[in-house]
């Protein structure tokens, strides 16, 4: 954890009772200070995705197959991650159109929420075999398209708390199907907070697996940018009115997805070089940035300088910049000051290259 993470935890824990629900790190912070964390977090996910699918949040992470989604290339660099190599063709009744998240090089998550419910179904696609989930759940071997698969079932646990980032065990009810679909392609299909009996939920997972095809599924097109030399897309997530992108070292090998990287708990040990947060320029996160460096004041969006603003805290640097072509959007770049990418000129070049994708939650 770096100094920025520590400051975020301190600030948002103190404001948890009145702060808006956060994303990624902030989701975990808010989750720990609320008594009914599991219900609140799952309800937030359900509401966000349901509203997005209904158009209530504009274009937030909703796939639009009819719009141009050809990967853009600038100066020889792809400005969007590769699409998932599969398509989910069959979902249980009541689940909405799936949203494609990019979790890591070679890892995707295709997620859907049941309308009017906190239930989430996710299909994770990865190149490497995932770890076997530990814990008290029941496991049994099944056949999936002729291949051996493992079904994991955790009955209702009676708890009311969402899992902590370091806890690999989900809160029941929870079901998971893991199998190798083909050489170099493993799938983990998860059902979070499902309704119905164990037999019904397991049948749903097997039905979803049977409907998966080799058609590609584009990642939610929320941010486009020119990647700095030596970096690659590491993570692309969209939540409500913001999105987060992590850029990793281009030489980093593809890794197995974390057991805790689920729709209800975005735990990840991914080492990123730059984190890019797309936010509303009038958001609390932007307003409170000066507090992180001891300036004792807040920042109005009208004060954001055209060339960007730097906020340093220990070994962490945050660079705030408005997004070209948008009246509302801003980006916050987060980087360790020891990384060559922390050079203000390079950060400015990266920020200036940012454009909103067709699924951007802010226009």
Per-residue pLDDT at 23: 35
CATH class of 82-213: alpha beta
Q: pTM, whole model, 2 decimals?
A: 0.74
List the domain boundaries for the chain.
82-213
- Give the mean pLDDT per block of 10 residues along the chain (363 residues): 46 38 34 36 38 30 36 51 94 92 92 92 94 88 94 82 57 94 96 94 97 95 94 87 90 79 78 94 96 90 97 96 96 97 98 93 84
Per-residue pLDDT at 238: 82
Per-residue pLDDT at 191: 96
Per-residue pLDDT at 168: 62
Treating both helix axes as pointing N-terminal to C-terminal, what angle do 3-14 and 25-33 enclose, rounded to 10 degrees? 40
């Amino acid at each position: 954890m770096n100094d920025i993470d520590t400051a975020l935890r301190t600030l948002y824990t103190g404001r948890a009772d009145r702060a808006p629900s956060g994303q990624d790190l902030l989701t975990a912070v808010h989750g720990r200070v609320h008594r009914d964390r599991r219900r609140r977090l799952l309800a937030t996910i359900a509401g966000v995705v349901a509203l997005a699918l209904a158009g209530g949040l504009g274009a937030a992470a909703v796939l639009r197959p009819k719009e141009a989604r050809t990967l853009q290339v600038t100066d020889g660099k792809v400005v969007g991650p590769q699409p998932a190599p599969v398509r989910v063709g069959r979902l249980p009744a009541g689940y909405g159109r799936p949203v494609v998240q990019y979790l890591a090089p070679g890892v995707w998550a295709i997620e859907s929420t049941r309308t009017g419910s906190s239930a989430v179904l996710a299909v994770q696609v990865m190149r490497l075999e995932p770890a076997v989930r530990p814990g008290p759940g029941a496991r049994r071997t099944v056949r999936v398209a002729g291949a051996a698969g493992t079904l994991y079932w955790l009955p209702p646990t009676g708890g009311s708390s969402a899992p902590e980032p370091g806890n690999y065990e989900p809160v029941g009810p929870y079901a998971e199907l893991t199998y190798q679909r083909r050489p170099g392609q493993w799938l983990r299909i998860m059902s979070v907070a499902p309704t119905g009996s164990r037999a019904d939920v397991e049948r749903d997972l097997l039905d979803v697996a049977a409907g998966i095809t080799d058609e590609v599924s584009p990642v939610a097109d929320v941010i486009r940018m020119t990647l700095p030399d030596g970096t690659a897309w590491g993570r692309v997530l969209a939540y409500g009115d913001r999105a987060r992108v992590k850029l990793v070292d281009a030489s980093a090998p593809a890794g197995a997805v974390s057991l805790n990287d689920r729709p209800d708990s975005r735990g990840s040990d991914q080492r990123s070089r730059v984190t890019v947060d797309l936010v509303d320029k009038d958001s609390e996160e932007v307003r409170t940035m000066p507090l992180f460096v001891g300036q004792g004041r807040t920042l109005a969006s009208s004060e954001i300088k055209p060339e960007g603003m730097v906020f340093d805290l220990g070994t962490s640097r945050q660079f705030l910049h408005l997004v070209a072509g948008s009246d509302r959007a801003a980006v916050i770049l987060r980087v360790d000051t020891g990384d060559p990418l922390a050079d203000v000129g390079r950060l400015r070049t990266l920020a200036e290259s940012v454009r909103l994708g067709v699924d951007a939650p802010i226009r």
